[in-house]
Structure formats: C-alpha cells, structure tokens
Amino acid sequence: MNAKAKDIFRRYGFATVGLVLVALGVALSIISNLGTAPLSCPAYVLNLEWPALSVGTFTLLVNTAYMLIQIALLRKEFKAKYLMQVVASALFGYLIDGCLWALGWLHPVTFAGRVGLTVLAGAVTALGVSIEVAANAWMLSAEMTVSAFAQVLGKPFHRVKIVMDSLTVVLAAVLAWIFFANPFGSGVWTGLGDVLLARTPGIVIGLGTLLLAVLPGWMMRLTDPLLARWIKGRSAGSARKSQ
C-alpha cells in the first residue's frame, strides 16, 4: 500500500472515530429526554411519529434531503466527491442506532442525571467534531449544507450555522405540532415546566436543545487545542521512529 492510500485510510479511520462520538452525543441527548441537538430534532420527531423506522434511518433520509438542497444551491459547482455524504450519513445513522441500542440500559430518573447526560453529550460531540475537522475526511450533509449556503450567500459559516440550526428547530416544532399537537415533542402538553424538567416522555425540543446549541461550540475551544497537541505529539514520535 502506497503512502497516499495509507494517508486516506488513516484520515477516514480517524474521522470515523469522530462520527462515533457525535453519534454517541445524539444518543445521550435522546436518552436524557431534555431535548436533542438542533440538527437531530427533525429525525427524532419523525421517528416518534413512525417508530417502525429508526432514528438512524430518518437521520439518513434527512441528510439526503440536505444534499439535494446543496445540489440546488451549488448546481455545476456540486462535485462528484460530495456524494460521499450519503455514505457518511448512512454510517452516522447506523452509529446512532447502535449507540441507542448499547445504552438501552440507561434510564436517568433525576433532573440532575438528565442534565449530566446532556453535558456529557455536549462534551463527546465537541470532541467528535474536533476529530472530524482535524481528519478532513467524512463530512456530514448538515455541515456541508451550511457551507453551501455560506458560499452562495457570501456569509460567514458560523452565522449561517446559527440560522440553519434555528430553522431546523422551528421545522421540528412545526412537525411535532402537526403530529402530536405539542411543539416540544410527542408527550401530552401539560405546561412548559414539565417540558423543561423532563416530566413528560418524548421531549424533542427543550432545555437540552438550548444547551446542545451552545455547549459543543464552547467546548471545542478546549478539545481543538488538546487534539492539536496530541496530533503534534504523535507526529513528532513517528518522526523520531523513522530516523
């Protein structure tokens, strides 16, 4: 195997570790019942309405819809290599389902426990995204759609992401209202306090959604430099071995 092929396998293997962590973050947020991360809200709402299809399956379908939006936006600038998003999204969906299955034993009953799971979800998501960025390999459709809008509109990536996250949550709220007459999820609406404190099941949009809109980006200020130092140390070690 030549050096280029080894580099590709290394980068995609490393990026897959990042996908596992992000999928774990999604699973933890669902289990917490405080609200899922913004970009996972529509897939979870659809799963609650049609449970025959898993969250991972709907994640793949939603991400495929994102890719179609990219094609409409970029047109001739949409490159064939971008179709790898389908593979990444399918893998990501299966990983979410796998994490939910593996954590099926986890049933937090206290509010503190639910908040703890949400914070943990934010931490593993931050590390996972940092790894994905460093690997420069797999790229999920949601992030590439943000990039496409930023490119077409000439706006900064982070600002477009805030708008897209907000619109995604609004879409999920509309779907939840249509399906369950409850904009926050599938449970019977009994008051905002019950939603915020996770007193009803099937909460899709809640306190956890707000936390996960902020925590990963804030925590990446810690995970990015830690990961950079680790990679630098690995590179230095490999260089010494080759001498």
pLDDT in tens, 185-238: 887 777 777 777 777 888 999 999 989 988 888 888 888 888 888 877 666 555
pLDDT value of residue 1: 61
DSSP state of 223: H
CA–CA distances in Å: residue 147 to residues 1, 18, 182: 33, 19, 32
The whole-number pLDDT of residue 241 equals 57
- Angle at which helices 3-32 and 55-74 cross, to 10°: 120
Q: Delimit the domains of the chain by residue range.
A: 3-242
Rounded to whole angstroms, how far apart are CA atoms 90 and 216? 23
**pLDDT for the residue numbered 7:** 77
| 186, 201 Cβ separation under 8 angstroms | yes
pLDDT at 226: 85
Q: Which of 20, 35, 28 has its CA nearest to residue 93? A: 20
Low-confidence ranges of the chain (pLDDT < 50): none
Q: What residue type is 236 in one-letter code?
A: A
Q: Which residue has the tokens 């405080």?
A: 34
| Phi then psi dihedrals of residue 185, to 5 deg | 160, -160
Question: In this structure, what DSSP letter does residue 189 have?
Answer: P
pTM of the model: 0.87
pLDDT of residue 156: 80
